[in-house]
Amino acid sequence: MAAKLKFDAVKVGDAIPTITIENVARPDFVRYAGASGDFVPLHYDQTFVEAAGIPTVFAQGMWTAGCLSRCLTDFAGAGQVRRFKVRFARQVWPGDTLSCRGKVTAKSEANGEKLVEGDLEVVNQKGEATVKGVFRVAAA
Amino acid sequence: MMDKSIVGKTGKPFSMPIEWGKVREFARAVRDPNPVYFDPDLAKKECGGIPIPVTFLQTSAFWQTAESMPPLDMFDLRRILHGEQEFEFFKPILVGDTLTGVARVADLYEKEGGRGGKMTFLVVETAYTNQRNEKVALARFVLVETGQAVGG
């Protein structure tokens, strides 16, 4: 597999590369609904959300999580992710700009694999965390 | 009222073929331009085939039916939130594989919440094997039923 990450070159406390998602927009949610099969109307049906007293459609949590997961494949290589866990903290709205970022918290070896673990978060333009998570990737 | 008897109940196994078109569409949807999802030759060289994006198993929504979900009729869908989602990977998953998923109610518990009142947490785990019967992944989600309507 395509391990990009050299175990010996990683230190606890290192930041992983940040990905910026500029200008979140309604078409992102529509595209994700079609791609994922998540057709909960809160994410694309303005009439439905207004009737529920919500000002506008907002992102599927798993759309934001998908954007965040790219940090890991960019960092460690596709096929190298062993664990990805997210908790949804706050909604993502059209017009938001998101920073997807993380840092290394531990290194270990198990079952013959060199593993790097860490924390992840997606933060909006106001500095609020929208998704928080943890990861484990395999390194070479 | 919480009925713990659903813990351990499983849905009917479902089949999920891993298709390139769907992988590309998904990668685009989460704004991931990584060429391994778009260039089969490069993917073959780097990963032995076209890999799936980390959260791609969410597309099991296209393959699951009511019978492949554990029984959840006790929940009020107007008060349900997706609280957490986790994936663990044990072996590579590549385009061309056919996975079999089995969903199981792993846990059910209550906590006192804030303004939403008592909250009920449901943990569902879906175990995936491939066409060689190798255990490849586990997806785990936590649904939260709040004491009042989500929009309220």
* B29 vs A contacts (CB less than 8 Å): 28, 31-32, 34-36, 63, 66
Q: Is pLDDT at A119 greater than 70 in this prediction?
A: yes
A1 falls within a domain = no
Q: Is pLDDT at A122 greater than 60 in this prediction?
A: yes
The whole-angstrom distance between A11's CA and the closest CA on chain B is 23
Instruction: Please give the CATH topology (third level) of the domain spanning B4-145.
Output: Thiol Ester Dehydrase; Chain A (3.10.129)
Task: Give the one of B31, B37, B82 whose C-beta lies nearest to A21's C-beta.
Answer: B31
Say yes or no for a CB contact (<8 Å) between B59 and A36.
yes
| pLDDT tens figures, A57-94 | 999 999 999 999 999 999 999 999 999 999 999 999 99
A2 falls within a domain = no
Task: Give the one of A32, A74, A79 whose C-beta lies nearest to B29's C-beta.
Answer: A32
- HEC secondary structure over chain B: CCCHHHCCCECCCEEEECCHHHHHHHHHHCCCCCHHHCCHHHHHHHHCCCECCCCHHHHHHHCCCHHHCCCCCCCCHHHEEEEEEEEEECCCCECCCEEEEEEEEEEEEEEECCCCCEEEEEEEEEEEECCCCCEEEEEEEEEEECCCCCCC
Residue in B38, B47, B56, B85 to test binding to A, most A beta-carbons within 10 Å = B85
CATH number for the domain spanning A120: value is: 3.10.129.10
Q: What is the pLDDT of residue B1?
A: 57
ipTM over 0.90: yes
What domain range includes position A17? 7-139
Average pLDDT, chain A: 96
Say yes or no for a CB contact (<8 Å) between A63 and B92.
no
| Chain A residue with minimum CA distance to B35 | A78
Instruction: Tell me the pLDDT band of A2, cut-offs 50, 70 and 90.
Output: low
Domain positions in chain B are 4-145
Say yes or no for a CB contact (<8 Å) between B85 and A70.
no
Q: Is pLDDT at A8 greater than 60 in this prediction?
A: yes
* B148 vs A contacts (CB less than 8 Å): none
* B34 vs A contacts (CB less than 8 Å): 70, 73-74, 78
Number of domains into which chain A is organized: 1
A123 falls within a domain = yes
| Chain B residue with minimum CA distance to A69 | B54
Task: Give the one of A63, A67, A84 whose C-beta lies nearest to B87's C-beta.
Answer: A84
Average pLDDT, chain B: 91
* A63 vs B contacts (CB less than 8 Å): 29-30
The whole-angstrom distance between B4's CA and the closest CA on chain A is 24
Residue in B19, B24, B31, B136 to test binding to A, most A beta-carbons within 10 Å = B31
| pLDDT tens figures, B70-119 | 877 777 767 888 899 999 999 999 999 999 999 999 999 998 876 657 88
Q: Is pLDDT at B142 greater than 70 in this prediction?
A: yes
Window 98-137 of B: residues touching A by CB (8 A cutoff) are: none
Instruction: Tell me the pLDDT band of B152, cut-offs 50, 70 and 90.
Output: very low
